Chains A and B, each alone.
Chain A
Amino acid sequence: MSDLATLEHDGAVARLTLNRPDARNAFSIEMLHDLHARLDEFGDGGDAKVVVITGAGKSFAAGMDLKQVVVDESGPELPGQLLASLGRFNLRLRRLPQVTVARVNGAAIGGGCGLACACDIAVSHADAKLGYPEVDLGICPAVVAPILVRKIGAGPARKVLLMGGIMSGEEAYRIGIVDELAPNAGELDALTEDLVGRLAAGGPRALAATKALVNELDGSLDEALVEKAAALSASVLVLDEAQAALKARLK
């Protein structure tokens, strides 16, 4: 079993960890495969009420694995597959009956920030770095856009996605990407476990029914939109502009 993602499940709480710390947990097709596999194994989660998602090492998730989206190296198909896989993974998290908590331990960039927002609740610390620098690299952040719009509203999302760049945990908390903020990385665990304890005390049916309702109200389960967004992002990603920027970044 490949272990680029690990799942520990003990009673009411399951913990899913992105486990590619040497690559700052960037989304490669292999890691996404493992993430999906862990969810397959998890099934309906049995007695779990909460799933905590975090990154091994210092980063939460540093976005897409850039080597796999440079067409000269990966071929023309891989970027689209990677984006579609990420979009489907986010959708699967929304479909889980459990409450999902993103424990944003460090950098959450691009698709990584998207993953944080795809979780029901995101906790982080003031010094974490979050953001959507896609446009700076000639990339269209289409996969993450609908999730961000739902999370912080259409007005603020417009600014965040069009301006690109990176923000601090503090700023992310202020605009609503992060829901609970620890003053520093050292205090993140206490904050997370407090929240997890509160959630795990909930009735599982009540939690699942409430989550299903908010999914319906905010259109989270729009599968066609996820596919369309992945295709759009892939179509921009293979253009010369993006490819040149990505190659320059990799050097």
Chain B
Amino acid sequence: MIRVEDEGPVRIITLDRAEKRNALTPPMLSRLADAAEDLGSTDSRAVLVRGEGKVFCAGFDLDECRGDTSGEVMRAFMNELSRAIAAMRSAPMPVVLCAHGAAVAGGCALLGGADVVVADPAAKLGYPVVRLGISPAVSAPFLRLGAGDGSCRVRMLDPGLIDGARAAEIGLVHELAEDASSRAREIAASLAAKPRDAVRATKRLLNEISPTITSAQLGLTTSLSLTSGDEAHELLERFWQRKAAT
């Protein structure tokens, strides 16, 4: 469900589960995190993270958590998500992410790992998870680097979705294009054509100026702390009841 290919100097990592709007499972996130960690040992000059089909990613596939009373599956989701975001950010070369159509919840969290995010103006983005008793905190340390603390606070607390155009205004998305996929490919190719050492040194410096390792751990701890409580169980149970009813 994760495909890794090279197009010349560009490493392309694809969420390949179009029939489920690329909804993430723990093994899928684990593969994604592995693929991102492998970037440290490749000669790729740029990375493109994209989703197959109509949308980038609909978030966690909550069917995976059904019947998981211990919260173990949700913890696996959070741990692997955190590892994937951190690995994308630590990759020595720039990472471009194409958030076409929709990037929701865990899917939107992945934007925090990218250096450049492209979306279409009508794309739906956001973190609608507090109503499931889940905290999107795991992505806050990364979101604040792009969107700033004010918008980070709002987006973390308000479960409403915003469109790509608004996401660009607040800094969650860096470039808008009707055909986001083509534009993201273009940007990855243009980054790959730039002098390798200068680009890598610049990314390394930016990572040092905005350290996220400690705060990433704080975010993860917050999200993990909620996985074993009654609130998440109750609210997830209600979610499945609503789903069954429709």
* A positions within 8 Å CB-CB of B: 99, 117, 120-121, 150-153, 174, 176, 179, 195, 198-199, 201-207, 209-214, 216-218
Contact = CB atoms under 8 A, between A and B. Distances in A.
A209 B225 contact: yes
A217 B215 contact: yes
A214 B144 CA distance: 9
A-B interface, 3 closest residue pairs, ranked by CB to CB distance from nearest: A202-B130, A203-B133, A151-B150
Question: Binding site of B, secondary structure by majority: helix, strand, loop or mixed?
Answer: helix
Contacts of B150: 117, 150-153, 176, 179
B149 A218 contact: yes
A99 B157 contact: yes
Interface string B90-131: 000000000000000000000000000000000000000111
Nearest to A156: B148
Query: For B132, B134, B148, B150, which residue has the most chain A Cβ atoms within 10 angstroms?
Result: B150
B231 A217 contact: no
B170 A206 contact: no
A143 B136 CA distance: 30
Contacts of B215: 217
B140 interface: yes
A216 B218 contact: yes
A201 B149 contact: no
13 contacts: A152-B150, A176-B170, A203-B134, A204-B231, A207-B157, A210-B157, A211-B157, A213-B137, A214-B156, A216-B218, A217-B152, A217-B219, A218-B149
Contacts of B218: 213, 216-217
A198 B218 CA distance: 26
Contact of B137 (A120, A152, A179, A210): A210
A120 B153 contact: yes
B158 A214 contact: no
B219 A213 contact: yes
A142 B140 CA distance: 27
Contact of A205 (B151, B157, B231): B231
The A interface is mostly helix, strand or loop, or mixed, namely: helix
Contacts of A117: 150
Question: Which of A176, A202, A204, A216 is the most central at the interface, judged by chain B CB atoms within 10 Å of its CB?
Answer: A202
Contacts of B159: 198-199, 201-202
B154 interface: yes
B149 A203 contact: no
Contacts of A203: 130-134, 226, 231-232, 235
Interface in B29-87: none
Interface string B202-236: 00000000000001001100100110010110010
Nearest to B130: A202
A121 B157 contact: yes
A220 B154 CA distance: 14
Given A176-B151, A213-B222, A217-B141, A206 B158 contact: no
Given A152-B150, A176-B148, A199 B137 contact: no
Nearest to A210: B135
Contacts of A218: 144, 149, 152-153
A121 B222 CA distance: 21
B8 interface: no
A195 B130 contact: no
A213 B135 contact: yes
A195 B158 contact: yes
B27 interface: no
B154 A121 contact: yes
A217 B148 CA distance: 11
B136 to A, nearest CB: 7
A195 B157 CA distance: 11
